Amino acid sequence: MDNKERQNSLISAIAEAESRLIRLDKERHKILAELKSHKAELLILTNSSLDSTKDTPISSDGIISKISSHEEKIATFRSLLRSRGLMTLTPLWRHVEI
């Protein structure tokens, strides 16, 4: 194989790999959208079964994540504790003078 044939072969391999990456990226975005939808539906079902949906704010997309406000995260955490009857937590440690 001479130099020109090798160059053409490499150009073809690069184009094929880039095309494959584009297809995989589209599939990744599709799967992420499905995952987001499933998580939102699960969160809605979970919150409705806790009888605490009236005072639990949910973000517009129904998902609590890193970008959710502190108020949304705290409200979700409290609603989960409320459903377990754990709203009055005692500290796991106590300051002891030695």
Q: Break the chain into its structural domains and give their ranges.
A: 3-83
- Pairwise CA distance, residues 35 & 29, whole Å: 10
State the Cα angle at 59 between 47 and 54, rounded to 5°.
Answer: 40
> pLDDT for 30-74, tens place per residue?
999 999 998 888 888 887 766 554 554 455 556 677 777 788 878
The distance between the two most distant Cα atoms of the chain, rounded to a whole number of Å, is 83
Residue 87: pLDDT over 70: no
> pLDDT for 2-30, tens place per residue?
999 999 999 999 999 999 999 999 999 99
- Pairwise CA distance, residues 11 & 22, whole Å: 17
At 97, is the pLDDT very low, low, confident or very high (cuts 50, 70, 90)? low
Give the per-residue pLDDT at 56.
47
Query: Which tops the pLDDT comparison, 86 or 35?
Result: 35
pTM score of the predicted model: 0.45
